[in-house]
Amino acid sequence: MKIIMLGAPGAGKGTQAKMIADKYHIPHISTGDIFRANLKAGTELGMKAKEYMDQGLLVPDALTCDLVMDRIGQDDCKDGFVLDGFPRTIPQAEALDAALSNINQKMDYAIDVDVPDENIVNRMSGRRACLNCGATYHIVSIPTKVEGVCDRCGNPVVLRDDDQPETVQKRLAVYHEQTQPLIDYYKGQGILNTVSGTQPMEDVFQAIVEILGA
């Protein structure tokens, strides 16, 4: 079962990817985790990626795809995997398809967690994070016990720059320009399934489980 998660930043696709991975006992693969693991291990691919990252440049599509394929080639992926955060663009999707085709494999499902922009801006601007211990909260759905104070370590919680409404709007604009075309790409392959991400988290997951048919 090879699954790609699609959706705008803040749509909740990462949370759903983790839940899918837990239920079906397959790895949750995010490009951020792959980069960190390869950098930490000092692999050849990791060092190549570091050269770009150190210059503040995006890692090229071909190298990102090589890193993903290297991860997919590991034993724990033999029964499938959930990709989260890759591919982000049509060229990345094409590179992934070509690399999978070379080993006689293809993706089975692309699941789009669909949430209107307005909901995402409201959802993300309500997030609060503790910069000391990393705990995250939401002023509506997961409030701190004491307003503005982390439950875990007692330090202040803040609205991160990434979650400021203006920043969220910019990230959404990039998403619509670069990543949203993937919806039509996977629709054309006949593997796209869309679920409404405005429902409670458990209902979104239930809708995904029904799609996966297990």
102-140 burial by CB neighbour count: b if 16+ within 10 A, else e?
Answer: eeeeebebbbbbbbeeeebbebbbbbbbbeeeebebeee
Q: 46 or 185: which carries more pLDDT confidence?
A: 185
Written out in words, the top-level CATH class of the domain with range 2-116+179-212 is: alpha beta
Distance CA 102, CA 86 (A): 19
Decide if 106 contacts 2 (C-beta within 8 A). yes
Judge whether 68 and 96 are in contact, CB under 8 Å.
yes
> Which are the catalytic amino acids?
13, 88, 127, 160, 171
Per-residue pLDDT tens for 43-66? Answer: 999 899 888 888 887 788 889 999
Mean pLDDT of the chain: 92
Distance CA 97, CA 90 (A): 10
Cis previous bond, 60, omega within 30: no
Three-class HEC string of 101-138: HHCCCCCCEEEEEECCHHHHHHHHHCEEEECCCCCEEE
Residue 214 has pLDDT above 70, yes or no: no
* Residues 120-146: tens digit of each pLDDT: 998 888 999 999 898 889 998 899 999
Judged against a pLDDT cut of 90, whether residue 36 lies above it is answered with no
Residue with tokens 């392959």: 189
| pTM exceeding 0.85 | no
Domain segments of the chain as ranges: 2-116+179-212
Cα separation, 55 vs 147, in Å, equals 40
